[in-house]
Homo-oligomer: A and B are copies of this chain.
Amino acid sequence: MNKIILFTLCLCLTSVAAQAQQALTDNGEVNSPVVHEDQSITFRVFAPRADTVRVWGDWMPRTDGQTEGAEMQYNGEGVWTYTTTPMPSDLYTYYFQMDGVRVLDPENVHLVRDVSTIFNMVIVEGGRGDLYKVQDVPHGTVAKRWYSSPALDRDRRMTIYTPPGYEQKTESYPVLYLLHGMGGDEEAWTSLGRTAQIMDNLIAEGRSEPMIVVMPNGNVYQQAAPGKSPKGFYKPTMQLPNTMDGEMERTFPDIINFVEENYRVHADKESRAIAGLSMGGFHALHTSRYHPDTFQYIGLFSPAIYPGENENAGVYSDIEETLTEQKENGYELYWIAIGKSDFLYDQVKRYRSELDSLEIPYEYLESEGGHTWKNWRDYLSEFIPKLFDKTH
Contacts and interface: CB of A to CB of B under 8 A. Distances in A.
A16 B99 contact: no
Interface residues of A, number: 114
Interface string A343-354: 110000000000
A23 B307 CA distance: 32
Q: Which of A58, A143, A183 has the most CB of B within 10 A?
A: A143
Interface in A95-136: 97-104, 106-111, 113-119, 121-123, 125, 133-136
A75 interface: no
Contacts of A47: 99-101
Nearest to A245: B1
B109 A227 contact: yes
Nearest to A68: B16
A85 interface: no
A212 B23 CA distance: 42
Nearest to A224: B134
A181 to B, nearest CB: 6
Contacts of A344: 7
A28 to B, nearest CB: 14
Which 5 residue pairs of A and B lie closest in terms of their CB atoms, listed nearest first? A1-B308, A49-B99, A143-B143, A139-B146, A17-B117
11 contacts: A7-B343, A16-B67, A16-B69, A23-B100, A47-B101, A49-B100, A111-B111, A138-B155, A139-B155, A141-B143, A141-B144
Given A1-B307, A110-B226, A125-B232, 10 more contacts: A1-B245, A4-B244, A5-B182, A8-B238, A9-B239, A12-B182, A111-B111, A135-B230, A141-B146, A142-B144
